[in-house]
Amino acid sequence: MGRRLYSALLYALSPLIWRRLRREHLEDHPRGERLGRIPTYHDERVLWVHAASVGEVVTARPLIRSLIDDYPEHRVIVTTMTATGARQVQTLFGDLVTHHFVALDFPGATRRFVQRLDPEITIIVETEIWPNLIHACAMAGIPVAIVNARITSRGFARYQRFSKLMGEAIRRLAWVGAKSAEDAKRFRALGVSARRLNVTGALKYDLHVDDSVFERGEALRDMIGDRPVWVAGSTHEGEESQLLAAHERFLARFPDALLILVPRHPQRFDEVFELCAREGMTVARRSEGEPAGPGTQVYLGDTMGELMTFYAAGDIAFVGGSLVDIGGHNLLEPAALGLPVVSGPSLSSLGDVVTTLDEAGARVEVASGGMLGEMLVSLQLDETRRETLGRNALAVVNANRGALGHTRDYLGRLIRARELHEPWPLADEHPPGGERP
């Protein structure tokens, strides 16, 4: 009954939903994908990974790479909800995977999508619990696993409010690999059986940094020259103005300093460029091939898929979405490069990662652009502290790797069970190495 009411509400809201999705469209993707109208893959063996947007795609990167390597006879299909997520898939994987936009959670659309895709397994990254999609997979006998599973306190309250609807979907899950013990506890409270739940750790710690990232970062740094460089990655509206104010303070002490500014969303690149110009900053744009010469004060990283390269060219990293009420973005990307990590206080999306970095002395927090400017000056003057922060950050990443191995192990068991037409394995039968909640 709960799912029927939910579906009726979706149909009623469909004009608003379609209007919202206009900006999440790419010309080379038919709009019919949102209604499940994709090619039929019945003659192929398919592994389906759903990663809603950019953050989930980046998180799933090591897992998707492992699926490509572990199952060369399969086609790996990655779906996203957003256009930025789609672009990130293309940037990271090119022709190694196939991308579609996921069907909207209408009953007919999800049923059509699942029938045409016909995957051996559905792997959802983090927490995208769509009742009709999960129902369609269950009716087709397709196991659904959630990996790097997390639920914020706000999300947990929302799921509890709609417990009848969400409980039905959650009870159909074949396996949940929770990011932390607290996340596992919340999934248990929502109805996931302990026998289908493991604490695997965070996939983000298994971030692999290719040698090419360091090479491209070094080439960029050679172009920039020998001067102080800090990078502000994944920034948002309302945040860039604070970062520019911080950079102004930094410039007052180090006149040759450079800020590499990387907005989170590509549709804001022009807006941020205009903001920098209004603030009187000399700006060069990466997308235009403009060099960050000696007189350049801000280098705008207005391209997709180069954030790690920008971090690799810097001395200090600020991670955005943390000076505004967004919840923060991936602190582990600069940490994996051995950079000192600075952020604001809004980090609700990152959970245990923040605690782990803080306990290791691997992160600095500032509450405003003014404080950030002072911190940048302090860190630039204290090379020993910069090196210690960076060394501690890298040690945290290295010490917490392992979630990928646990996740690969259990997903492999689910794939084999489906192939052999066996019942889905339970988490207490030869656990894949992760902790039990």
Give the other-Cβ count within 10 Å of 240's Cβ.
24
Choose among 402, 424, 405: nearest CA to 413.
424
Phi, psi of 298 (to 5 degrees): -130, 130
Give the span between the Cα atoms of 9 and 16, in whole angstroms.
Answer: 12
Give the other-Cβ count within 10 Å of 40's Cβ.
10
365 labelled catalytic: no
User: In degrees, to the nearest 5, what angle opens at C-alpha 98 toward C-alphas 320 and 412?
Assistant: 85
DSSP for residue 424:
P
Annotated catalytic residue within 56, 128, 168, 239:
56
With 0-12 / 13-18 / 19 or more C-beta atoms within 10 angstroms meaning exposed / middle / buried, residue 42 is exposed
Q: Which strands form 341-343's sheet, in the order they lie side by side?
A: 283-285, 298-300, 258-263, 229-235, 316-319, 341-343, 363-365
**Structure tokens of 155?**
């999300």
DSSP for residue 422:
P
**Structure tokens of 67?**
């699926």
- Here the contacts of 85-90 (C-beta below 8 Å, separation 24 or greater) are 85/51, 85/52, 85/53, 85/54, 85/56, 85/57, 86/26, 86/29, 87/26, 87/266, 87/304, 87/305, 88/54, 88/57, 88/58, 88/304, 88/305, 89/51, 89/57
Q: Is the Cβ–Cβ distance between 347 and 325 less than 8 Å?
A: no
Catalytic residue IDs: 56
